[in-house]
Amino acid sequence: MVRARPGAGNAAVKYIPIATEQTGIFDPSPAHRASRVGNQGVEAVSTTALISFFETVSNDLASPDFGPDEISVGAHVSVDHLAPARVDESVAITAILEKQQGKRLEFDLIAMQGETLVMRGKHHRAVRHRERFSDASKTIGKVADGMDFGSIFTVRGVIWSATE
């Protein structure tokens, strides 16, 4: 059951019951291997691929409760990568909504391959207005003297270039 979130006023985001759970099944391909993202010689599924699966399932859990002009974007991720995942076997990702604070959603997640716990973690998503977020994202590529967004990242507020 989905109810309007207390104090929502005109906001479209709805209250999602805590402990709402969703599982997604992913079939990793060779493109998901760690060796494809720079970890040469490691043919297991990469940490980054598993994190992207976490993001997908979390968004899939929450998005049916968004307003028509809302999207969610990843805001935080913290993981423990506990065991390798093979490319030739499905990975089950389970997301459980732990907390909703306004438009911020916090999830607990696990990745299982068969009986093996591959990864566990926390992921936060922020619900945003689609058009306003799109307009704001048009300026991101102008950060740090014109470097494109794909070549920069921040760590504790410091801008780093992937090409430096």
Q: What confidence tens digit (pLDDT) does each residue in 24-56 have?
A: 999 999 999 999 999 999 999 999 999 999 999
Q: Is residue 141 part of a domain?
A: no
Burial of 78 (0-12, 13-18, 19+ CB in 10 A): exposed
The model's pLDDT over 50-99, given as tens digits with 9 standing for 90+, comes to 999 999 999 999 999 999 899 999 999 999 999 999 999 999 999 999 99
For residue 127, how far is the Cα from the chain centroid? 12
Residue 114 lies in a domain: yes
Q: Decide if 164 is inside a domain.
A: no
Structural domain total, the chain: 1
**Residue 1 belongs to a domain:** no
Q: Could you tell me if residue 10 is inside a domain?
A: no
Residue range(s) defining the domain that contains residue 113? 21-130
CA-based nearest residue to 18, from 120, 108, 135, 126:
108
Please state the pTM of the whole predicted model: 0.77
Is residue 8 assigned to a domain? no
The H or E element that residue 131 is part of is: helix 130-137
